[in-house]
Structure 1
Amino acid sequence: MYTHNKQISIGGAAAANAKAALIMLHGRGASATDIMRLAGEFNAKDMAIYAPQATNNSWYPYSFLAPVEQNEPALSSALALVDEVVAQAITDGFSTDKIYFMGFSQGACLTLEYITRNAKQYGGAVAFTGGLIGEELKLNNYKGDFANTPVLITTGDPDPHVPLSRVEETVEILKSMNANVTLKVYKGRAHTISFDEIGLANQHVFI
Structure 2
Amino acid sequence: MQEILKAGKPLEAAEKVLIMVHGRGGSAEDILSLATELNTAAFALIAPQAKGNSWYPQSFLAPRAANEPFLSGSLSFLEDIVQDLEEKGFSKSQIFLLGFSQGACLTLEFAASNAARFGGIVAFTGGLIGDHVDHNNYKGDFDGTPIFIGSSDPDFHVPVNRVKESTILLEGMGAKVTEVIYKNMGHTISRQEIAQVNKLIFGE
TM-score class normalised by the smaller sequence:
over 0.9
What is the aligned partner in structure 2 of residue 96 from structure 1? Answer: 92
Among 93, 102, 115, the alignment partner of 1:106 is: 102
Aligned length: 203
Matched, 1:143 2:139: yes
Query: Contact 1:120–1:146 (CA<8 Å) still a contact in 2?
Result: yes
Counterpart of 2:82 in structure 1: which amino acid?
Answer: V
Q: Where does residue 23 of structure 1 map in the other structure?
A: 19
Report the alpha carbon displacement of residue 59 of structure 1 after superposing the two structures with TM.
0.4
Contact residue 156 and residue 188 of structure 1 kept, 8 A? yes
For residues 123-170 of structure 1, the C-alpha deviation after alignment (integer angstroms, 9 at most, x for no partner) is 000000000000022211110000000000000000000000000000
| CA deviation after TM superposition for structure 1 residue 92, in Å | 2.7
Equivalence map 1:108-147=2 (5 Å): 108-147=104-143
Please give the alpha-carbon distance, in whole angstroms, between the structure 1 residues aligned to 2:80 and 2:29: 19
- Per the alignment, in what secondary structure is the counterpart of residue 11 of structure 2? coil
Partner SS state of residue 16, structure 1: helix
Deviating beyond 2 angstroms after TM superposition, the runs of 4 or more aligned structure 1 residues are none
> Share of identical aligned residues, percent?
50
Q: State how far apart, in whole Å, the 1-side matches of 2:5 and 2:139 are.
A: 29
5+ residue gaps, structure 2, are none
Gaps of 5+ in 1: none
Q: Shift of the alpha carbon at 1:93?
A: 2.3
Q: Which moved more, 1:118-127 or 1:15-24?
A: 15-24
8 Å contact from structure 2 (residues 18, 97) kept in 1: yes
Task: Decide which moves more: 161-170 or 134-143.
Answer: 134-143
Offset of 1:88 from its aligned partner? 2.0
Match of 1:80 among 62, 68, 76: 76
Q: SS where residue 192 of structure 1 aligns?
A: coil
Q: What corresponds to 1:53 in structure 2?
A: 49
Distance across 1 between alignment mates of 2:133 and 2:182: 24
Report the aligned-residue RMSD: 0.8
Kept in 2: contact 1:15–1:93 (CA 8 A):
no
Partner Cα separation in structure 2 for residue 54 and residue 63 of structure 1: 16
Alpha-carbon distance between aligned partners in 2 of 1:91 and 1:117, rounded to the nearest angstrom: 20
Contact 1:24–1:102 (CA under 8 A) maintained in structure 2:
yes
Q: Of residues 9, 34, 40 in structure 2, which corresponds to 1:38?
A: 34
Residue 45 of structure 1 aligns with an amino acid whose one-letter code is A
2:6 to 6, 10, 16: 10
TM-score (norm 2): 0.98
